[in-house]
Amino acid sequence: MPNDVLEYPYTVQEDKRRKLTEALPLIPVSFIGENGRVDAQALLDSGADTIIIPLELAKSLGIRLKKLSETIRGVGGETDGYEGYVFFELGRGARKRVYGEIIVRACDFKAILVGRKPVFEDYKVEFQQFDNKLILTPKEILSDKK
C-alpha cells in the first residue's frame, strides 16, 4: 500500500579503487518507457533536486530527450544534460507508489539518483545513519496523526 511506512536497510558497497566500504541509502525504483521497464536500485539523494538517470538508461527506455541549456553538476563534475518524461514507481509489489509520468534528467553519470522531487513531497524522509537504515513515512500517515 502507498500508505505503508517503508523501511530500507542501507546497502553496503565496496569501493575497491578508494579501498573503503560505504553504507548507502538505496531504494527500489522502476522506470517504464516506450521500450519497456527497468527495475533498479537508486541512491536517495537529499542534495539532488530531481531524478537523474544515466543517459544510456534513458535511451534504452526510449525516452524522448531534449538537450538542456545548462549543464548538470554533481560531486563528480559537470556534464551535458537532457530532460524527458518517464513513468516512475518507488518500492516493489503491494508497497509501491506509482507516480505516473514525471520529468527526469539524463546525463553521463553512472548512478541513478532520486532527488527531493517527487519523493520528499510525499514522504517524511529519515536517514538513520547510526542504525544504517532509511525510513519513508507517507504524508497521509502523518496527517492522520494530527
Alpha helices in 2-126 (DSSP H): 55-61, 116-122
pTM of the model: 0.86
For residue 144, being part of any structural domain is answered with no
State pLDDT tens for residues 92-107: 887 888 888 888 988 8
How high does pLDDT run on average in the chain?
88
For residue 1, being part of any structural domain is answered with no
pLDDT score for 75:
65
For residue 19, being part of any structural domain is answered with yes
For residue 145, being part of any structural domain is answered with no
Count of domains for the chain: 1
Which cell numbers in the block locate residue 124? 517524511
Q: What share of the chain is helix, strand, coil (3-state, %, to 5)?
A: 15, 50, 30
Rounded mean pLDDT of 32-36? 95
Q: What CATH number is attached to the domain comprising 74?
A: 2.40.70.10
For residue 117, being part of any structural domain is answered with yes
- Asked if omega into 118 is within 30° of 0 (cis), the reply is yes
State pLDDT tens for residues 49-106: 889 999 999 999 999 999 988 888 776 678 888 999 999 999 988 788 888 888 898 8
Domain range spanning residue 123?
6-139
